Amino acid sequence: MYPSHGNPYINIKQIATMSHFWPTAHTVTNYYKVEANTDKIKLDKQHREYRWINTMENDLHPYLVEMITKLGIF
């Protein structure tokens, strides 16, 4: 738990890790549940894009849909 004063994150909890084997690569993805006191979050240069979602959207990557479903997020 992170203090909310001076830090936009109220709570950060790692909820899962998923390993993916692709034809030319292996990736390991960590999934976090983040509670924040603002929607103006800036990620570091490791991230090209992100978005906030509150429903299962049609254009999500299949592995993300799989993890969201397994975890019962929506």
Q: Which helix (H) or strand (E) holds 68?
A: helix 62-71
Residue 23 backbone dihedrals phi, psi, to 5 degrees: -55, -35
Query: What is the identity of the amino acid at 26?
Result: H
User: Residue 71 carries which side chain, given as an amino acid letter?
Assistant: L
**Does the reported pTM lie above 0.85?**
no
The rounded distance, in Å, linking the Cα atoms of 52 and 3 is 21
Please state the domain extents for the chain: 9-71
Return the SS3 of 6.
coil
Q: First CA to last CA across the chain, in angstroms? A: 23
pLDDT tens, position by position, for the chain (74 residues)? Answer: 444 445 666 788 888 888 888 888 888 888 888 888 877 777 778 877 777 788 899 998 887 888 888 888 88
